[in-house]
């Protein structure tokens, strides 16, 4: 799926094991010391609402905002930074959770976007912090808002893109935050994106070119020039893009892989066009920088190969970064900074503890804990994650992440005393990547007794353009071979039992599940597909209209449905056409309103399997889209999943119980193939 695909955002007692791990032989069991008694962690602690999340400092430093439950639904909250006891809810969403908010430049309004039932027709809302008055800034049907420009220099307005005139393209509007007035700035006649400077003047527009990349055009007085000033080909399209301007408008920063393999951070002199390399790393792409909140000048960056590393460039923050690197155990991200730059909000990921957010006072050089996102997991038996470099059969390096259950007594590299069942987790995108850090799915599945392996297969981003481009036209082939090679590595290393490996994933990861069971039907013991496409023809035919600018790149990377060669390739790579080969248990979860992977993608492969009497369990959520945003739905599906995996792999599971009751789950087929599902349906 395209960039920004949705992937994958309660107190209770710990339980003892409900089901034994897959049995070892008596001889092996006798030869090993007894496994530790690891309590079963309730899945609601992983997938229920966080206590707090998405904290943000207001630019003036007076306020702290976050999302937290209100009557069971995530809403926006705010408190004076120095008086957290005065916290109050600003919104009252009753159904659809608000995942995050962001501040207006004048610190008077908290902004957020939300859709209805997962349809991704995102609207922009604002709440006055002083009065609590709420505005719907973009109250249009079948319209997706995009934020194009927010600047600390312009306090009263922002730039937004709206596709309510033409669903394919976003016209640029100036939005007055006080009055809600929208004023057309530029009518869009075919451009995919825009960049504005810190005076909110439009400066760049991009448009797809025949090569599958992008052409960038200068904008002067809201008029787009006819001749591009920069052209990027397909090979650089996933690794090259403008980041933003300095406050004086004289420098434009880019992440740029042209002329190199991994994307570097560049500074371009706008007047001359000359570029200077600010930072580069031969191992991985630099995808973002740390910028001064007032001047906009780059001060540092982060690079992630095996793990994320923060690097200071500006002497003004060098001591701060060194302090954070020294004091924080684990990885961290600076999520917001005040305009005075005296305080930073720092999100800390310790891997074996739930994420936490700290306030960093630069003058006092002091870190203060503000909140832990899931305090019910503090002290829980969470497991480490190991980063590994796995070689593919043709010599590529696949950066991968492994978690092993504590009861398997793994060594420092994650090798258990005896091989255990394993779940191969495949990320979405595919133009995305897996990262090192706390991962709710890794922790949940490891607690159930499974090793969990996430693989950055070819086509993943972050490791240089040659690695990303190696995935072109390789859906279901070399991309799938990488997954098989990683499984073989785990088996040969003594991590996984060869006949006890499941494959699970969402979006592209769901496609990989279907491809794994249809193209290599004996490789996996079972599969869990979440919103995965089954037919690449129908997938490309039902993409949202506002992906128009991305369509050429999709065709070049997946297969062109307008040519005979492309049609043959797409047919060959569509699991639907090989549904008759599936012989292992399959569980499918789908959102009925998914605009990226239409519900028909799951319907049609379920119908094909039903026609051949091949067992499949199919659950649809009528109020969800590309993934499950509502915790009650996510918990319900994962309850079915862990009981499905327990039958398939022999791990342990918490009973489904009444988790389906508060959800909207519709079991459309195959309840009899998932343990406990029929009984749970009766309760619902």
Query: What phi, psi does 416 have (nearest 5°)?
Result: -75, 165
603 in active site: no
In the numeric block, the tokens 């400066």 are attached to: 203
Residues 654-678 as b or e (16 or more Cβ within 10 Å = b): bbbeebbeebbbebebbbebbbbbe
Alpha-carbon span 231 to 241, nearest angstrom: 11
Of all helices (H) and strands (E), which one includes residue 634? Answer: helix 631-649
Angle between helix 508-519 and helix 478-492 axes, rounded to 10 deg: 80
By the 10 Å C-beta count (0-12 exposed, 13-18 middle, 19+ buried), 49 is classed as buried
- Which candidate in 174, 626, 663, 669 is catalytic? 626
User: Which sign, positive or negative, has the C-alpha torsion 102, 5, 488, 394?
Assistant: negative
Known catalytic membership, residue 507: yes
Task: Indicate which residue of 507, 534, 574, 602 is catalytic.
Answer: 507
Annotated active-site residue 173? The verdict is no
Interatomic CA distance for residues 74 and 551, integer angstroms: 34
- How many other CB atoms sit within 10 Å of the CB of residue 83? 9
Backbone angles phi, psi at 304, to 5 degrees: -125, 110
Nearest to 194 by CA among 226, 211, 219: 219
End-to-end CA distance of the chain: 34
User: Which of 594, 623, 663, 669 is labelled catalytic?
Assistant: 594
CA distances from 105 to 149, 159, 176, 197, 453 (A): 11, 12, 12, 15, 42
Active-site residues, by number, are 507, 594, 626
């Amino acid at each position: 799926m395209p960039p920004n695909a949705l992937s994958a955002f309660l107190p209770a007692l710990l339980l003892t094991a409900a089901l034994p791990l897959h049995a070892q032989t008596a001889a092996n069991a006798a030869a090993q010391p007894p496994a530790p008694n690891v309590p079963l962690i309730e899945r609601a602690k992983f997938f229920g609402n966080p206590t707090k999340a998405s904290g943000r400092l207001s630019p003036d430093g007076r306020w702290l905002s976050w999302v937290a439950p209100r009557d069971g639904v995530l809403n926006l909250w705010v408190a004076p930074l120095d008086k957290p006891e005065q916290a109050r809810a600003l919104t009252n969403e009753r159904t659809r959770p608000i995942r995050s908010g962001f501040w207006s430049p004048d610190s008077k309004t908290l902004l957020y976007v939300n859709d209805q039932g997962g349809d991704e027709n995102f609207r922009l809302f604002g709440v006055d912090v002083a009065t609590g008055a709420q505005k719907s800034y973009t109250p249009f049907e079948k319209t997706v808002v995009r934020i194009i420009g927010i600047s600390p220099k312009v306090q009263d307005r922002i730039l937004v893109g709206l596709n309510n005139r033409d669903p394919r393209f976003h016209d640029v509007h100036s939005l007055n935050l006080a009055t809600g007035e929208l004023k057309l700035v530029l009518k869009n006649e075919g451009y995919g994106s825009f960049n504005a400077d810190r005076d909110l003047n439009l400066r760049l527009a991009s448009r797809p070119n025949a090569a599958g990349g992008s052409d960038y055009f200068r904008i002067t007085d809201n008029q787009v020039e006819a001749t591009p000033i920069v052209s990027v080909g397909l090979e650089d399209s996933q690794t090259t893009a403008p980041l933003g301007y300095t406050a004086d408008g004289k420098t434009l920063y880019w992440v740029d892989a042209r002329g190199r393999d991994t994307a570097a951070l560049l500074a371009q002199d706008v007047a001359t066009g000359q570029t200077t390399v600010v930072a580069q790393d031969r191992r991985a792409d630099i995808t973002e920088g740390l910028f001064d909140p007032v001047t906009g000048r780059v001060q540092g960056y982060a690079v992630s190969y095996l793990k994320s590393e923060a690097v200071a460039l500006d002497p003004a923050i060098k001591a701060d970064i060194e302090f954070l690197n020294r004091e924080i155990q684990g990885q961290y991200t600076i999520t917001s900074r005040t305009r005075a730059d005296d305080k930073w909000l720092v999100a800390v990921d310790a891997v074996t503890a739930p994420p936490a957010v700290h306030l960093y006072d630069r003058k006092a050089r002091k870190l203060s804990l503000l909140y832990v996102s899931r305090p019910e997991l503090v002290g829980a038996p969470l497991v480490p994650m190991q980063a590994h470099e796995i070689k593919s059969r043709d010599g590529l390096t696949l950066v991968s992440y492994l978690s092993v259950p504590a009861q398997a007594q793994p060594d420092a590299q994650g090798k258990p005393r005896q091989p255990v069942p394993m779940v191969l987790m495949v990320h979405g995108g595919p133009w995305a990547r897996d990262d090192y850090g706390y991962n709710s799915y890794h922790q949940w599945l490891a607690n159930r007794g499974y090793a969990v392996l996430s693989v950055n297969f070819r086509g993943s981003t972050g490791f240089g353009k040659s690695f990303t481009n190696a995935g072109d036209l390789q859906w279901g082939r070399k991309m799938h071979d990488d997954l098989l090679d990683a499984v073989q590595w785990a088996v040969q290393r003594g991590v996984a039992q060869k006949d006890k490996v499941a494959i699970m994933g969402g979006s592209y990861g769901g496609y990989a599940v279907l491809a794994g069971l249809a193209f290599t039907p004996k490789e996996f013991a079972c599969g869990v597909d979440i919103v995965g496409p089954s037919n690449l023809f129908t997938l490309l035919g039902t993409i949202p209209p506002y992906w128009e600018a991305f369509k050429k790149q999709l065709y070049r990377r997946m297969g062109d449905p307008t040519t005979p060669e492309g049609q043959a390739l797409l047919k060959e790579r569509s699991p639907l056409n090989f549904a008759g080969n599936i012989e292992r248990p399959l569980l499918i979860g789908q959102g009925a309103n998914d605009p990226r992977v239409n519900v028909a993608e799951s319907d049609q492969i379920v119908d094909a399997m039903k026609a051949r009497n091949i067992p499949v369990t199919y659950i649809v959520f009528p109020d969800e889209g590309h993934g499950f945003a509502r915790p009650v739905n996510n918990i319900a599906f994962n309850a079915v999943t862990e009981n499905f995996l327990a039958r398939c792999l022999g791990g342990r599971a918490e009973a489904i119980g009444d988790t389906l009751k508060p959800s909207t789950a519709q079991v459309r087929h195959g309840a009899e193939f998932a343990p406990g599902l029929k009984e749970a349906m009766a309760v619902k």
